[in-house]
C-alpha cells in the first residue's frame, strides 16, 4: 500500500509518499512564512492562492523522489480540516480531482490525527494505546488514543493554544511571526529566576489549560523597561518555563489518571527541546516511554498525512465519496470523567 499525502491547512504546502512496507519514501515542503511575515500573521486568501501555485510541482517532485508514478500509488490522502477553509479546499479539490483522474481513492484526514500519528514515522514507533500531548499553533489537548480513529479528549486549552502563546509573546519580544522557535532560542541565554510567571490552572484539578494570561504577564514584565538583549532573554526564559511546567504537570496528572505507559508529544511546540527534556523526566517518574517525531515532523508536514491516509486505507476506514473540507472539526468526544 502506497499513499501520497497532501497538507495545505495553513501556511505550509507539503506533499509526501508513504509506503506501508518501506516507510516514508519522500517528503517535500514549501513554507509560506516569508510571504506572511510582512503582515505579522497568516493572510488566508494569500495562503490559498499560494497552495494553488505550489501543489502540482511538489507532487511531481515527491513522486520523482520516491521513484513512484501514478500506477504505483494506491490512494491519496489530504488534510480535510481543521484549518483555513480556502486553503483546505485547494488541497481537498486537488486530491479528489487527481484521485478521480487516476481512479484511486482520495481520503480526507483530520489534521490533528496526522500530528498524533507522526511519531509512528520514526524508528521504534509507539504502539496503541497511548497518551498524547498535542501542542500546536491552534490546539493544546491531552488525548487518550486507544486505536486508529479512537480519540478521547481528556483536557484542552480554554483560550490560547500553547503555540499561539509562544507566538504572541515572541511578538512582544520583537521576534518575527511565528516566533515560537526564535523565542526558545532566545530563552537559552536567559536567566532562570529573573522573571517567574504564573503557572496557569495548576492550582485547580483537571486537565484543562489556559495560556492567555501568560502573554499579559510578559507584557507587564516588559513594561517601562529598556528592552536590551538580557531582559528579552530573561523574559523568554521565564515564559517558556511557565508553559513547560504547566504542560509537564498536566501530563503527569494525565498519566496517573489513565495509567498509560506511553506518552507521545506531537504538534509544532513539540519541537521545543526544554519541553522534551521535562517530559522525559515526567515519563521516567511514571515508568512510561516518551515518543516524539523529529522536529520537522512536529510542525506541519505531508508525511504525517500520508501515513494517516495509508493506515486508514489499509484498515478500510475512510469514505472517499465526498470532497471533505471543514474549517472546524473536533478530533474526538470530550471526556468529562
Ligand atoms: O503544528 P504546527 O506546525 O501548526 C499548527 O497546526 O498549528 O505548529 C506551529 C506552532 C507555532 O505556534 C510555532 O511558533 C510553534 O509551533 N513552534 C514552537 C517551536 N517550534 C515551533 N514553539 C516552541 N518552541 C519551538 N521550538
Ligand atoms: Zn499542525
User: What pLDDT, in 10s, does the model give residues 298-319?
Assistant: 999 999 999 999 999 999 999 8
Q: From edge to edge, which strands make up the β-sheet containing 150-156?
A: 289-291, 262-266, 130-135, 140-147, 150-156, 333-334
Model pLDDT, residue 78: 98
User: What pLDDT, in 10s, does the model give residues 54-94?
Assistant: 999 999 999 999 999 999 999 999 999 999 999 999 999 99
Cβ atoms of 156 and 276 within 8 Å: the answer is no
Q: Half-sphere exposure of 285 toward its Cβ, with a 13 Å CA cutoff?
A: 13
Domains of the chain: 2-117+297-334 (3.30.420.40), 128-292 (3.30.420.40)
Cβ atoms of 203 and 62 within 8 Å: the answer is no
How remote is the CA of residue 70 from the centroid of ligand 1, in Å? 33
Pocket, ligand 1, Cβ cutoff 6 A: 136-138, 163, 166-167, 178, 180-181, 184, 267-269, 271-272, 299-300
**For the chain, what is the total number of helices (H) and then of strands (E)?**
11, 11
Model pLDDT, residue 337: 36
> CA-to-CA distance for 18 and 335, rounded, in angstroms?
33
Entry pTM: 0.95
Cβ atoms of 91 and 329 within 8 Å: the answer is no
Atom of ligand 1 nearest to the CA of 83: 6
Cβ atoms of 86 and 44 within 8 Å: the answer is yes
Task: Give bridge partners of residue 15 from the DSSP assignment.
Answer: 6, 28
User: What pLDDT, in 10s, does the model give residues 260-291?
Assistant: 999 999 999 999 999 999 999 999 999 999 99
Over residues 201-227, the mean pLDDT reads 91
- In testing the pocket of ligand 1, which one of 91, 112, 137 has its CB within 8 Å of the most ligand atoms? 137
User: What pLDDT, in 10s, does the model give residues 7-40?
Assistant: 999 999 999 999 999 999 999 999 999 999 889 8
Q: Which ligand is nearest to the CA of 136?
A: 1
User: What pLDDT, in 10s, does the model give residues 166-197?
Assistant: 999 999 999 998 899 999 999 999 999 899 99
Residue with cell 475512510: 318
User: What pLDDT, in 10s, does the model give residues 111-165?
Assistant: 999 999 999 999 999 999 999 999 999 999 999 999 999 999 999 999 999 999 9
How remote is the CA of residue 88 from the centroid of ligand 2, in Å? 13
Nearest to 242 by CA among 166, 164, 320: 166
Amino acid at each position: 500500500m502506497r499513499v501520497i499525502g497532501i497538507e495545505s491547512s495553513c501556511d505550509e504546502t507539503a506533499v509526501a509518499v508513504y509506503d506501508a512496507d518501506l516507510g516514508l519514501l519522500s517528503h517535500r515542503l514549501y513554507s509560506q512564512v516569508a510571504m506572511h511575515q510582512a503582515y505579522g500573521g497568516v493572510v488566508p486568501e494569500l495562503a490559498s492562492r499560494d497552495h494553488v501555485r505550489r501543489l502540482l510541482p511538489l507532487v511531481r517532485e515527491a513522486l520523482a523522489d520516491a521513484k513512484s508514478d501514478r500506477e504505483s500509488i494506491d490512494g491519496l490522502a489530504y488534510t480535510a480540516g481543521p484549518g483555513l477553509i480556502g486553503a483546505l479546499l485547494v488541497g481537498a479539490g486537488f486530491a479528489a480531482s487527481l484521485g478521480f483522474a487516476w481512479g484511486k481513492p482520495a481520503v480526507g484526514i483530520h489534521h490533528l490525527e496526522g500530528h498524533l500519528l507522526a511519531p509512528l514515522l520514526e524508528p521504534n514507533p509507539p504502539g496503541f494505546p497511548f497518551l498524547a500531548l498535542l501542542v500546536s499553533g491552534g490546539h493544546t489537548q491531552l488525548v487518550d488514543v486507544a486505536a486508529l480513529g479512537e480519540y478521547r479528549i481528556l483536557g484542552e486549552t480554554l483560550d490560547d493554544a500553547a503555540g499561539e502563546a509562544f507566538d504572541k509573546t515572541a511578538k512582544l519580544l520583537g521576534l518575527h511571526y511565528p516566533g515560537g522557535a526564535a523565542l526558545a532560542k532566545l530563552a537559552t541565554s536567559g536567566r532562570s529566576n529573573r522573571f517567574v510567571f504564573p503557572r496557569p490552572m495548576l492550582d485547580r484539578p483537571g486537565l484543562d489549560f489556559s495560556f492567555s494570561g501568560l502573554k499579559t504577564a510578559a507584557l507587564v514584565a516588559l513594561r517601562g523597561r529598556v528592552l536590551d538583549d538580557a531582559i528579552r532573554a530573561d523574559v523568554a526564559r521565564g515564559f517558556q518555563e511557565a508553559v513547560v511546567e504547566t504542560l509537564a504537570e498536566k501530563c503527569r496528572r494525565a498519566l496517573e489518571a489513565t495509567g498509560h505507559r506511553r506518552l507521545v508529544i506531537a504538534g509544532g511546540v513539540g519541537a521545543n527541546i526544554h519541553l522534551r527534556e521535562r517530559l522525559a523526566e515526567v515519563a521516567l517518574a511514571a515508568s512510561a516511554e516518551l515518543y516524539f517525531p523529529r522536529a520537522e515532523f512536529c510542525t506541519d508536514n505531508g508525511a504525517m498525512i500520508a501515513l494517516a491516509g495509508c493506515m486508514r486505507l489499509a484498515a478500510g476506514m475512510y469514505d472517499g465519496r465526498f470532497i471533505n473540507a471543514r474549517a472546524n472539526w473536533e478530533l474526538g468526544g470530550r471526556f468529562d470523567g
